[in-house]
């Protein structure tokens, strides 16, 4: 795996694809700097090795050149995190940008304007990619969050460079996933939650050969429970996926994988923070009630499995954790993973909701690795090759 450590960067300009798609508040201030911080080691490595860095990223989904999607809004935060004054240019291609890049000196950083102000970025336009490529001597992809997109800056641009590599963040992401999927540290446990079976089918099918335990929670629980004849009341269900759920359970049995479903649920009479709630067996939920979290017995059962695991993957919450009333299952799973990690287990957390949960409950420093890419991580777990990763290899 060719990383930035394999490049000679002295007196060279590194064109770096970063993922600075960060949330902004109504005052256009950054509310979560973790993606910027995650890219900092790569940028600092370039500067420490005598190079300069030209950073390119998208932000949101602009339809035109709306001010709220300008990367100028984040220059202050990027400068503060990198510890250097970051220069900014009001476009990402064209004469003004080429001049700013040409004037860049070793130790300096230039941030380009939002790539998606140009529709050619998402279209993977070759001419647009070539214009970006003119700016740098070497190309580094450090944007795992967009590695599953075949866009101009993530994939096409790489063909114009003889020297290209993964950044430190992207290399760590690949390494962490391979650590889980190819782990010899057993037992290996995958914890999958979230609303729908349909979004996780390919993941489940791909990881069944690689895990010893599969813990299922969240809304997808009820499709499995109903498929086995349980009463789920008004809980979320994908009726057209019941047969598939039974096939997954059968496939797991054939492969010797133990599947663990919740045995009890926190049921509510409405989808609301202030709903009436009761703990009931997961297969005995009355009409007019819905399961919105795993119950205390399930939390204990899952905890016993997690705490004796040596390799752990977590993707998806156990319930509607955004509402305090239905957050206990997700919190418990996070705490069990933290406990296993403290005893030497390797734990990888990925996917928007799981990452939000570990941050919300201050567990991010108590797990081994928190992935920065939701869709990209899911596609790797599905066994797909990612265009942004393949472009560096080719």
The span from the CA of 240 to the CA of 238, in Å, is: 5
Q: Which residues, in sequence order, are CB contacts of 30 under 8 Å at separation 6+?
A: 22, 23, 24, 36, 73, 74, 77
Mark out the alpha helices in the chain (DSSP H runs).
34-48, 75-82, 95-102, 120-123, 126-133, 168-181, 201-207, 221-227, 242-255, 296-307, 328-342, 352-360, 374-381, 387-393
Q: Are 135 and 54 in contact (CB under 8 A)?
A: yes
Q: Are 169 and 39 in contact (CB under 8 A)?
A: yes
Q: How many CA atoms lie within 13 A of 358 on its CB side?
A: 28
Q: Judge whether 352 counts as a catalytic residue.
A: yes
Q: Which position among 12, 87, 196, 210 bears the catalytic label? A: 196
Q: Judge whether 196 counts as a catalytic residue.
A: yes
Q: Which position among 13, 17, 35, 116 bears the catalytic label? A: 35
Q: Judge whether 167 counts as a catalytic residue.
A: no
SS (H, E, C) 134-179: CCCCEEEECCHHHCCCCCCCCCHHHHHCCCEEECHHHHHHHHHHHH
Q: Which position among 60, 230, 303, 352 bears the catalytic label? A: 352
Q: Judge whether 116 counts as a catalytic residue.
A: no
Q: Are 235 and 222 in contact (CB under 8 A)?
A: yes
DSSP, collapsed to helix, strand or coil, labels residue 54 as strand
Q: Which position among 60, 230, 303, 375 bears the catalytic label? A: 375
Q: Are 287 and 234 in contact (CB under 8 A)?
A: yes
The torsion region of residue 71 among left (phi > 0), alpha (psi -120 to 50) and beta comes to: alpha
Max CA pair span of the chain: 70
Measured N-to-C along each axis, helices 374-381 and 168-181 cross at an angle, to the nearest 10 degrees, of 40
Catalytic residues: 35, 196, 352, 375
């Amino acid at each position: 795996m060719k990383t930035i450590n394999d490049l000679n960067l002295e007196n060279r300009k590194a064109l770096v694809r970063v993922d600075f798609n960060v949330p902004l508040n109504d005052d256009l201030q950054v509310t979560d700097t973790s993606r910027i911080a995650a890219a900092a080691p790569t940028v600092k490595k370039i500067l420490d090795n005598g190079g300069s860095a030209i950073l390119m990223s998208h932000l949101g989904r602009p339809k035109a050149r709306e001010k709220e999607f300008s990367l100028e809004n984040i220059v202050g935060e990027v400068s503060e995190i990198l510890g250097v004054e970051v220069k900014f240019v009001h476009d990402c291609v064209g004469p003004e940008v080429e001049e700013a890049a040409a004037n860049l000196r070793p130790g300096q950083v230039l941030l380009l304007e939002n790539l998606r102000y140009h529709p050619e970025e998402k279209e993977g336009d070759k001419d647009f990619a070539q214009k970006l490529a003119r700016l740098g001597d070497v190309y580094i992809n450090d944007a795992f969050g967009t590695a599953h997109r075949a866009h101009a800056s993530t994939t096409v641009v790489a063909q114009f460079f003889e020297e290209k590599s993964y950044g430190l963040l992207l290399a760590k992401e690949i390494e962490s996933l391979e650590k889980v999927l190819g782990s010899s540290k057993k037992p290996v446990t995958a914890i999958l939650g979230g609303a729908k079976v349909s979004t996780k089918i390919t993941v489940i099918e791909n990881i069944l050969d690689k895990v010893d335990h599969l813990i299922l929670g969240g809304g997808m629980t009820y499709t499995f429970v109903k498929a086995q004849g349980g009463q789920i009341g008004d809980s979320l269900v994908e009726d057209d996926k019941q047969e598939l759920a039974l096939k997954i359970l059968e496939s797991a049995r054939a492969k010797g994988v133990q599947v663990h479903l919740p045995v009890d649920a926190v049921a509510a009479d409405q989808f609301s923070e202030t709903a009436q709630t009761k703990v009931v067996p997961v297969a005995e939920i009355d009409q007019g009630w819905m399961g919105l979290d795993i119950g205390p017995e399930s939390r204990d059962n899952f905890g016993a499995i997690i705490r004796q695991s040596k390799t752990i993957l977590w993707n998806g919450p156990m319930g509607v954790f955004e509402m305090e009333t239905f957050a206990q299952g997700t919190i418990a799973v996070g705490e069990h993973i933290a406990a296993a990690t403290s005893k030497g287990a390797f734990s990888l957390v990925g996917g928007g909701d799981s990452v939000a949960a570990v941050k919300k409950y201050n567990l991010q420093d108590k797990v081994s690795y928190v992935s920065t890419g939701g869709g990209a991580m899911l596609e790797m777990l599905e066994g797909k090759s990612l265009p942004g990763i393949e472009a560096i290899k080719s």
